[in-house]
Structure 1
Amino acid sequence: MDMNQYLSMFIDESNDHLQALNENMMSLEASPEDLSIVQVIFRSAHTLKGMAATMGFEDLASLTHQMENVLDLVRNEKLAMQDFIFDTLFKSLDALESMVQDITGGGDGKADVGAIVASLQAIVRGENPSAQGSAPAANAAAAAPSEGRALLDEFQLSVLKQSVQEGHQVLFIEVTLRSDCQLRAVRAYMVFELLERYGEVVKSFPSVQDIEQEKFEFSFSLYYITQKTAEEIQSMILGVSEVDTVTSVALDQESLEQVGQPAVAAAAEAPAPSAQAAHPEAPKAASAQTSAVPKEEAKKAPAKTGGTPSRTIRVDIDRLDVLMNLLSELLIDRVRLEQLASDTQSTELTETVEHLSRVSGDLQNIVMKLRMVPVDTVFNRFPRMVRDLAKSLDKKVDLVITGAETELDRTVVDEIGDPLVHLLRNALDHGVEPIADRIASGKSETGTIHLRAFHSGNHVFIEIQDDGAGISRERVLKSALKKGVVTADQAASMSDSEVHQLLFAAGFSTAEVISDISGRGVGLDVVKAKITSLGGNVTIYSTQGKGTNFSVQLPLTLSIIAAMLVRIGTEKYAIPLSSIVETGIIKRAQIRNVHGSKMVEFRGSHIPLLSLGTIFAVPDYDESTEDETEIVVIRKGDKLAALTVSDFIGQNEIVIKNLGKYLPEVQGISGGTILGDGQVALIVDPNAFIK
Structure 2
Amino acid sequence: MEADQYLEMFLDESREHLQAVNDNILKLEKQPHDLDLVNEIFRSAHTLKGMAATMGYEDITSLTHKMENVLDMIRNRQLTVSTTIIDIVFSAIEYLEDMVKAIGEGNDGKKDVTGLVHQLDQIEKGGQVTTAAQSNTVEEENLINFDELGLDEFQITIIEQAKEQGFSPYQITVTLTDECILKGARAYMVFESLEEQGEIIRTNPSVEEIEEGDFAQSFSIIFLSKEGVDIIKTVIVKVSEVKEVEISNLASLSNVNQPSSDMPDYEEENTSSQIINEETAATIEKTTQAESSGHTSKTIRVNLEKIDDLLNLFEEVVIDRSRLEVIAESLSNQALTDTVEHMRRVSTDMQSLILAMRMVPIEQVFNRFPRMIRGLARDLNKKINLEIIGADTELDRTVIDEIGDPLVHLIRNSADHGIELPEIRKQSGKSEEGNLILRAFHSGNHVFIEIEDDGAGINRGKVQAKAIENGLISASEAEILTDDQIANFILSSGFSTADKVSNVSGRGVGLDVVKSKIESLGGQITIESKAGKGSVFSIQLPLTLSIIATLLVKVKQETYAVPLSSIIETVILKKKQMMYAHGKKVMDFRGKIVPLVSLAAVFDVQEEEESDTNVYSVVIVKKGEKLTGLIVDSFIGQKEVVLKSLGNYLKDVFAISGATILGDGEVALILDPNALIK
Question: TM-score if structure 1 supplies the norm length?
Answer: 0.72
C-alpha distance in structure 1 between counterparts of 2:463 and 2:31, whole Å: 41
Matched with 2:339 is 352
Q: Kindly indicate whether residue 618 of structure 2 is the aligned counterpart of residue 606 of structure 1.
A: no
C-alpha distance in structure 2 between counterparts of 1:482 and 1:549, whole Å: 25
Q: How does 1:90-489 map to 2 (within 5 A)?
A: 90-126=90-126, 311-489=298-476
Residue 402 of structure 1 deviates from its aligned partner by 0.8
1:584 to 552, 571, 574: 571
Which of 558-567 and 606-615 deviates more? 606-615
> 1:70, 1:123 within 8 Å by CA — same for their partners in 2?
yes
C-alpha distance in structure 1 between counterparts of 2:561 and 2:635, whole Å: 10
Question: TM-score if structure 2 supplies the norm length?
Answer: 0.74
Structure 2 unaligned residues grouped into runs of 5+: 129-145, 151-204, 210-254, 259-291
Which of 549-558 and 313-322 deviates more? 313-322
C-alpha distance in structure 1 between counterparts of 2:18 and 2:408, whole Å: 19
Residue 607 of structure 1 deviates from its aligned partner by 1.9
C-alpha distance in structure 1 between counterparts of 2:608 and 2:33, whole Å: 75
Q: Percent identical across equivalent pairs? A: 54
Matched with 1:528 is 515
Residue 555 of structure 1 deviates from its aligned partner by 0.9
> 1:432, 1:468 within 8 Å by CA — same for their partners in 2?
yes
Residue 679 of structure 1 deviates from its aligned partner by 1.1
Question: Which structure carries more relative contact order (alpha carbon 8 Å, separation 6+)?
Answer: 1
C-alpha distance in structure 2 between counterparts of 1:670 and 1:55, whole Å: 44
> 1:395, 1:434 within 8 Å by CA — same for their partners in 2?
yes
Residue 595 of structure 1 deviates from its aligned partner by 2.6
1:106–1:653: structure 2 CA closer, same or farther, 3 Å change rule? closer
Which of 588-597 and 509-518 deviates more? 588-597
C-alpha distance in structure 1 between counterparts of 2:298 and 2:124, whole Å: 38
Matched with 1:35 is 35
Q: How does 1:540-619 map to 2 (within 5 A)?
A: 540-619=527-606
C-alpha distance in structure 2 between counterparts of 1:71 and 1:633, whole Å: 60
**Deviations for 1:327-362, whole angstroms, at most 9, x for unmatched residues?**
121122222222322333323222222221111111
Which of 620-629 and 14-23 deviates more? 620-629
Q: Secondary structure at the match of 1:125?
A: helix
C-alpha distance in structure 1 between counterparts of 2:674 and 2:67, whole Å: 52
C-alpha distance in structure 2 between counterparts of 1:351 and 1:480, whole Å: 61
C-alpha distance in structure 1 between counterparts of 2:651 and 2:408, whole Å: 32
Residue 381 of structure 1 deviates from its aligned partner by 0.8
C-alpha distance in structure 2 between counterparts of 1:14 and 1:462, whole Å: 27
Tell me how many residue pairs correspond in the alignment: 525
**Deviations for 1:502-532, whole angstroms, at most 9, x for unmatched residues?**
1111111121010111111112111111111
1:645 to 632, 653, 667: 632
Residue 490 of structure 1 deviates from its aligned partner by 2.7
> 2:66, 2:121 within 8 Å by CA — same for their partners in 1?
yes
C-alpha distance in structure 2 between counterparts of 1:651 and 1:343, whole Å: 19
Residue 592 of structure 1 deviates from its aligned partner by 2.8
> 2:73, 2:127 within 8 Å by CA — same for their partners in 1?
no
Residue 621 of structure 1 deviates from its aligned partner by 6.1
Q: Secondary structure at the match of 2:648?
A: coil
Residue 483 of structure 1 deviates from its aligned partner by 4.1
1:538 to 504, 521, 525: 525
Q: Secondary structure at the match of 1:81?
A: coil
Which of 618-627 and 370-379 deviates more? 618-627
Q: Kindly indicate whether residue 649 of structure 2 is the aligned counterpart of residue 662 of structure 1.
A: yes
Matched with 1:4 is 4
Q: Secondary structure at the match of 2:41?
A: helix
Residue 489 of structure 1 deviates from its aligned partner by 2.5
> 1:124, 1:264 within 8 Å by CA — same for their partners in 2?
no
> 1:631, 1:642 within 8 Å by CA — same for their partners in 2?
yes
C-alpha distance in structure 2 between counterparts of 1:91 and 1:65, whole Å: 15
- What letter is aligned with 1:421? V
Residue 597 of structure 1 deviates from its aligned partner by 1.9
> 2:598, 2:630 within 8 Å by CA — same for their partners in 1?
yes
C-alpha distance in structure 2 between counterparts of 1:525 and 1:489, whole Å: 25
> 1:124, 1:263 within 8 Å by CA — same for their partners in 2?
no
**Deviations for 1:68-105, whole angstroms, at most 9, x for unmatched residues?**
10000111122111111101111111111122223233
> 2:360, 2:395 within 8 Å by CA — same for their partners in 1?
yes
**Deviations for 1:587-633, whole angstroms, at most 9, x for unmatched residues?**
22333333332222222232221111122122336553212121111
Residue 484 of structure 1 deviates from its aligned partner by 4.1
> 2:554, 2:633 within 8 Å by CA — same for their partners in 1?
yes
C-alpha distance in structure 2 between counterparts of 1:492 and 1:614, whole Å: 33
Q: Secondary structure at the match of 2:126?
A: coil
Structure 1 unaligned residues grouped into runs of 5+: 129-146, 152-208, 214-261, 266-305
Residue 682 of structure 1 deviates from its aligned partner by 0.7
- What letter is aligned with 2:404? G
C-alpha distance in structure 1 between counterparts of 2:566 and 2:106, whole Å: 44
Q: Secondary structure at the match of 1:508?
A: coil
C-alpha distance in structure 2 between counterparts of 1:55 and 1:670, whole Å: 44
C-alpha distance in structure 2 between counterparts of 1:375 and 1:357, whole Å: 31
C-alpha distance in structure 2 between counterparts of 1:623 and 1:500, whole Å: 43
Residue 562 of structure 1 deviates from its aligned partner by 1.1
> 1:375, 1:406 within 8 Å by CA — same for their partners in 2?
yes
- What letter is aligned with 1:517? V
- What letter is aligned with 1:89? V
Residue 501 of structure 1 deviates from its aligned partner by 0.9
Residue 482 of structure 1 deviates from its aligned partner by 4.1
Q: Secondary structure at the match of 2:373?
A: helix
**Deviations for 1:610-664, whole angstroms, at most 9, x for unmatched residues?**
1111221223365532121211111111111111111111111111111122324
Matched with 1:287 is none
Q: Secondary structure at the match of 1:426?
A: helix
C-alpha distance in structure 2 between counterparts of 1:35 and 1:623, whole Å: 80
- What letter is aligned with 1:512? D
Matched with 2:67 is 67
Matched with 1:510 is 497
**Deviations for 1:316-336, whole angstroms, at most 9, x for unmatched residues?**
332222211211211222222
1:309–1:60: structure 2 CA closer, same or farther, 3 Å change rule? farther
- What letter is aligned with 1:608? P
C-alpha distance in structure 1 between counterparts of 2:472 and 2:333, whole Å: 66
Q: Secondary structure at the match of 1:545?
A: coil
**Deviations for 1:5-64, whole angstroms, at most 9, x for unmatched residues?**
322322222222111211111122222211111111111111111111111111210111
C-alpha distance in structure 1 between counterparts of 2:452 and 2:125, whole Å: 44
Q: Secondary structure at the match of 1:106?
A: coil
C-alpha distance in structure 1 between counterparts of 2:427 and 2:256, whole Å: 49
C-alpha distance in structure 2 between counterparts of 1:36 and 1:664, whole Å: 55
> 1:634, 1:642 within 8 Å by CA — same for their partners in 2?
yes
> 1:396, 1:447 within 8 Å by CA — same for their partners in 2?
yes
